[in-house]
Amino acid sequence: MLKGKPKTQTNESDTAADAGQFRENPKVNARIDDYIKNNPKRWDYIQAMPPERMARALVLNEVNKLERQEKIKNGFLHKLEQNPELKQAYQTLVKHLPEEQRENAMLSIAGKSRRAINMRPAQSTGGVGV
């Protein structure tokens, strides 16, 4: 599934990315600079890494991220299997989607619902309603 806006026109940043250059994000760069300033020993350690080791560390971060996402997905699927009524409700919501998109849509709806439910008690702090 493709995410984001479809490309309608080519601008300088698109051609720069195609040429092997990376885009700069000032907010991200500021966060990185703050980290470097606050952790000089860690920065020295990272700079001393050979390129192969640095690349493998980056891949490990990606693998860990994918594993966390898979664990969350499996948790939602397990909850749906435990509650057939809820699963049926989600299936009804996504019945108009193509078969290959239904599971991801159900997981997305389940995640948003769970976040909304978890936020609800924090918003009502026990005040008197009018």
pLDDT, tens digit, 9 for 90 and up, residues 82-117: 988 888 888 898 989 998 898 889 888 888 887 888
Asked if pLDDT for residue 130 goes beyond 50, the answer is no
pLDDT, tens digit, 9 for 90 and up, residues 43-68: 999 999 999 999 999 999 999 999 99
Percentage of the chain modeled with pLDDT above 70: 77
Q: What is the pLDDT of residue 124?
A: 53
pTM: 0.58
Q: Alpha helices of 1-130 — where are they, by DSSP H? A: 12-18, 26-38, 40-48, 51-82, 84-93, 99-123
Report residue 49 as tokens.
Answer: 């890494």
> Both ends of the chain: CA-CA distance in Å?
46
